[in-house]
Structure 1
Amino acid sequence: MADSNFIDYVKFCSRSGAGGAGSVHFRREKHVPKGGPDGGDGGRGGHVILRGNAQLWTLLHLKYKKHVIAEPGRGGEGGRRKGAEGQDVILEVPLGTVARVAETGEQRCEITDDGQEFVLTRGGRGGMGNDHFKTATNQAPHFAQPGEPGVEEWIILELKLLADVGLVGFPNAGKSTLLASISAAKPEIGDYPFTTLVPNLGVVGYRNDRSFVMADIPGIIEGASEGRGLGLRFLRHIERNSILLFVIPADADNISTQFGILTEELRKFNPELLDKQRLLAISKSDLLDEELTTALTKELPEGIPYVFISAITGKNLDRLKDMIWQRLHE
């Protein structure tokens, strides 16, 4: 994903169409000079609708759309003819998009399926024509309902990546190198922190033409849950992953300490993240001999399945994929 093309947050003004007014009309024909009321109803105002599209992976196409305005409904006409409905505006969004009301933070919907539609901002109802208001004592009503006004509100769309496995780790832990080595993804790789500035998705091939999706999330630092570093902007992408793969380099000062810090940041952001399955990959293990590997094993956090890997030499990458696949299909 190119840095400039991956947009996971947009804010815009959504305005639905007003309903059309009901008609005040009386039947007038050659042999019916004083017919009864026959005013038609007004048409419904246009909705603003979200539709899931599996072919999209970013909100880039909505970045510069600051106002989304649906058409108003048309007024009713004589002969009980109903006014035309206002044309809806359909916004196609990638799967994993969440819509919120900007003012209150209320979540309106979550788009997770291809073709799924949700009426984000509902158009006003059309008014009833005077035909509806005739009574035994008022057989010629000279009034009708106006249409309901449209709704105007500010909406925030946030994208949370849908992936089977999310890579969690500090900057420069080797996450991007791992993703590049086992998938066709081409993330930017460097020997300095925060090389990855946007999430990257890769499809990882497995045995017998099977596959799963892995997401490289920009590095977490201590305090990320309070907004430090890239902070809250990317932590939300981890919420959608089935498995969290913690990547900690073999040359870290203390693997258990780093794992604890990462786990605590996830807990502060969303405690439910700790209910997900967790795996630990010790990267850059081509630097280790057998004696160092044995010594490091004693320092690893208890109860977390682990594997020593090297994305450069390919060490244990097949074993890592086996571990992931097994837990995805338990």
Structure 2
Amino acid sequence: MRSYSIQEINEVINGEIYGTTSHNITATEQLEKATSSEISFIGNKKYEKHWCTSNASIAVVNEDISIEPGENRAFIKVKNADLAMSQILALFALPTPIFHTNIHKTATVDETAIIGEGVKIGAGCYVGPKVEIGANTTLYPNVTVLDECIIGENTTIWSGTVIRERCHIGHDCIIHPNATIGADGFGFRPCAQNGLVKIPQIGNVVIGNRVEIGANTCVDRGKFSSTIIGDGCKIDNLVQIGHNSKLGKFCIMAGNSGLAGSVTLGNGVIIGGSASIKDHTSIGDGAVIGAGSGVTGDVPAGKTMLGYPAVEARDALKQWAILKRMVCSSKK
């Protein structure tokens, strides 16, 4: 069991210690569940009220905290408690699953594949012809990488992921279990003789560096050209990204959200959970789409959109206030 004094923890996050405690810390936990040997966090003043009933001996807190730690308890004040929390969690993180051999005997690796130094390939994996995998990348058991894919260095691909032919994945990426990269886009057209005719999807997917893609997320290949995920994007679980969509750098998409085909996101766009974006729509840099919203037209840079169909946040809030007054009046 790992154990750290408050001074050792503060060496990692470089905060300012208020109060004293004799307790060493062996784990992290939320305020309500923490014991005296666990460290917790207060990232917002509204959670101050929970400190008096918590058993945590140490909390990492924002600088604007207005309460005192109390007897044999201490705070470490930092500018951003959430960011400091990520550093402390790394201290207590358990090791990832162990590979006894770099390439498991049950993995199938085509003889034309180029495998970098330190690559680990787990049981039941398939690596197809002319695949290139960069140094120190890990494929956990039962990953499929089809023909001519290129995967960068230090990337982790978890079990069940399928990467279809000719797709490219950058360096330092994380692809979580059962994601599908490069499945056919949803392309069909009515035909008098045959009902619905499938349109071939002959493009690929290009994923930048330091991208993280959640479990069971699907990124469709382009009908032609590429579906593109820019550097630093973070995609949650159960997200759909349609064919020929293009995400700029550092975009965030929360769970159950979706882009139809040929959507363009600028840099730093945030898409809330269960939001949906119409095909051939452009969303400008830094725009925010609220959870559950439905975007049917282009969104300028920096705008926040809410509702279904989505409108500017201030207009949506006015509409909701009027509707609430109407409902209250009807009940009188």
Structure with the larger RCO, 1 or 2 (CA within 8 Å, 6+ apart): 1
Give the structure with the larger strand fraction.
2
Determine which structure has more spread, i.e. the larger CA radius of gyration: 1
For Structure 1 versus Structure 2, the TM-score category normalised by the shorter chain is: under 0.3
Scaled by the length of structure 2, the TM-score of the pair is 0.22
Scaled by the length of structure 1, the TM-score of the pair is 0.22
Give the structure with the larger helix fraction.
1
